[in-house]
Amino acid sequence: MAQPNWSNQTMWTGDNLPIMRGMNSESVDLIYLDPPFNSKADYAAPVGSMAAGAEFKDTWTLQDVDIAWLDLIQLKHPKLNRVIDAAMTDSDKSYLIYMAPRLLEMHRLLKPTGSIYLHCNQHASHYLKLLMDAVFGRGNFLNEIVWNYGTPSGGRTGGQKPVKVHDVLLVYAVDYGKHLYVRQYTPYSTEYVKKWFRHEDEQGRAYQTRSRGGVIIRQYLDESPGMPLSTVWSDIMQLSSRRGWFPTTEREETGYPTQKPLSLLQRIIKASSNEGDMVLDPFAGCATACVAANDLNRQWAGIDVSPVAFDLVRRRIEAVGGLFYDIVNRKDVPKREDLGKVPPYNAPENKTRLYGEQGGECAGCDVLFPIRNMTIDHIIGRKQGGTDHIDNLQLLCGACNAVKGDRGMEYLIARLRE
C-alpha cells in the first residue's frame, strides 16, 4: 500500500479533482464528504462570523460542468454512464457529471480496508446512491444512515408536507469484509433500562438475565456497553438548531454555512478508523472532519475551493491546543509518487503498446494512421494532475494533437463535436 504523498495536517485550497488526481492510490483510510447537494440554494456565511467570506454555489446547469466529461465517462465507465443517463433533468445530470469523476478518484485513493461516508440529503441521495453503486459496487454498500438532526418544530413546520428532520449518509467499504468497523455504542434510554434491566442484586446493581448456551447469566447494566449503534442517529443535534439554546464554544460555532457538528464526525471517525490513520475530507468547508480527526489522533487532509477553510481549521485547532500545530496550506497539484518507475511518457515501448491497444486509430478522430504519424499525448493534462503512466496516455494524429495542445481530452472532444 502506498504512503500519502503529503504530510499530515494539510489543507489544500483549490478544486478537489486535480488535487485528488495527484494523490497516491490506496493511501487514505477514511473519506468523509459533504458535497454541495444540488439544493438550488446559494449559501453564504454571515458577515462578521468566523467564516465570513465563505460562500458556495449549489445550483447546477450543464454550462457549469465540462459536458465533455460525459464523453470520457461514456468511453471508460459504461455503468456510470447509465446512471447519468437516468437523470431526470439537465440540472441533475450536470450535478452527476460533476460528482462522478471525483468519486472515481476517491475510490482510487482509499485502501482496501477503507470506507467512505457520503453525506447528502433528499435532493440528490437517490441519484448519488446509484452513482456510488457504480463506483464502489453494490456489494460494498454498508448502510444508509439517517441523521435525525432535530425535531419537527419551529420554522420547519410551515410547509404542506411532513417536516424534514434528517440527512442521509451513504456508507460504502472499498472491499466488504476487509473493511474496518470499530463497534460503537450509545447510552441506553431510560425506558430501555426500565424495561430490560428490571432486576437488582444484593448490592443494588441492576441487571437483566440472558440465556447463553442454555445457562442463565446476569448481564449487569454497569458492565454493559450500551446500545449498538444503529442506522438512525437521533442524539446529535444540528448546529443551527442549537444556536441560542445550548452553550457551545466558539470553536464549534464558526458561522460557516452548512457546518456539521463535531460529534457527528467524531462518531464516524471512531467507527471507521484507528488512531494514526489518514482521514480525507475533499469538501472540507469549515474543516469539521479535520478538526475531529485531529482531536482523535488521526492524520488528516482537507480540500476546499474556499480559502476560508485553511484559516478556520488552523483557528479551530489552535483554539483548543495551546500547542504548536504545523498545519500546511497547499495550493499546488501534488505529484503522484506511487507509480513506480514510470518510463518517460514518450518512450518507444509506450508508443508500440498504445498503437496496438488503439488498433491503429487516433484516439480523437478515430481515423486510422500509420504509427509514424501518431504522437503520444496525455489524456488528462499534466497541469490538471495527469501522470506519465501508460493509463493516462494515448496516441493522437498530428491534427488532433495540435488542437488539443496541453489541455485535457475533454477540450479536444468538445472541439471535434463542433
Ligand X SMILES: C[S@@+](CC[C@H](N)C(=O)[O-])C[C@H]1O[C@@H](n2cnc3c(N)ncnc32)[C@H](O)[C@@H]1O
Task: Give me the least distance between CB of 376 and Zn ion, in Å please.
Answer: 13
User: Of 285, 302, 364, 386, which lies in the binding site for ligand X, with binding defined by CB under 6 A?
Assistant: 285
123's grid cell: 435532493
Calpha distance 69→90 (Å, rounded): 14
Say whether residue 266 binds ligand X (CB under 6 A).
Answer: no
Taking the complex as a whole, the smallest distance from the CB of residue 109 to ligand X amounts, in Å, to: 14
Return the C-alpha cell found at 95.
450535478
Distance CA 405, CA 389 (A): 18
Q: Considering the complex, what minimum distance in angstroms separates the CB of residue 305 from ligand X?
A: 4
| Single-letter residue type at 250 | E
Burial (CB count within 10 angstroms: exposed 0-12, middle 13-18, buried 19+), residue 251 = middle
Q: Which helix (H) or strand (E) holds 20?
A: helix 16-21
Whether residue 35 contacts residue 120, with contact meaning beta carbons closer than 8 Å, is answered with yes
Residues 291/313, Cβ–Cβ less than 8 Å: yes
Residue 258 in the binding site for ligand X (CB under 6 A): yes
Distance of CA 369 to the CA centre of its chain: 42
Output the residue with the shortest Cβ distance to ligand X: 285
Indicate the residue among 130 and 169 with the shorter CB distance to ligand X.
169
DSSP state of 368: B
Give 217-223 contacts, CB < 8 A, sequence gap 24+: 221/188, 221/193, 221/197
Between residues 9 and 306, which has the closer beta carbon with respect to ligand X?
A: 306
Number of residues lying near ligand X (CB under 6 A): 18
Q: Is 131 helix (H, G, I), strand (E, B) or coil?
A: helix
Among 193, 206, 296, 305, binds ligand X (CB under 6 A): 305
* Interaction of residue 105 with ligand X, rule CB under 6 A: no
Minimum Å distance from CB 371 to ligand X?
39
Q: CA geometry: angle at 214 spanning 211 and 216, to 5°? A: 40
Taking residues 336 to 375 in sequence order and writing x for each that binds Zn ion by CB under 5 A, - otherwise, the string is --------------------------x-xx----------
Of 8-27, which residues contact ligand X (CB under 6 A)? 15-16
Helix or strand or coil: residue 33?
strand
Question: Is residue 288 a contact residue for ligand X (CB under 6 A)?
Answer: yes
Binding string, residues 43-82; x marks residues near ligand X by CB under 6 A: -------------x--------------------------
Scanning residues 58 to 97, which ones bind Zn ion (CB under 5 A)? none
Between residues 260 and 336, which has the closer beta carbon with respect to ligand X? Answer: 260
Residue list 374-413, contact with Zn ion (CB under 5 A): 397, 400
Number of Cβ within a 10 Å radius of residue 141: 16
Pick 313 or 413: Cβ nearer ligand X: 313
Counting DSSP H helices and E strands in the chain, the numbers are 13, 18
Among 93, 111, 129, 260, binds ligand X (CB under 6 A): 260
CB of 366 to Zn ion, least distance (A): 7
Closest approach of Cβ 237 to ligand X, in Å? Answer: 14
Residue 283 in contact with ligand X, rule: CB under 6 A? yes
Which whole-number Å values give the CA distances from 134 to 70, 140, 206, in the listed order?
Answer: 15, 11, 49
84 binds, among Zn ion, ligand X, none (CB under 5 to 8 A by kind): none
The residue among 254, 263, 191 whose CA lies nearest residue 233 is: 263
Interface with ligand X by CB under 6 A: which residues?
A: 15-16, 34-36, 56, 256, 258-260, 283, 285-286, 288, 303-306
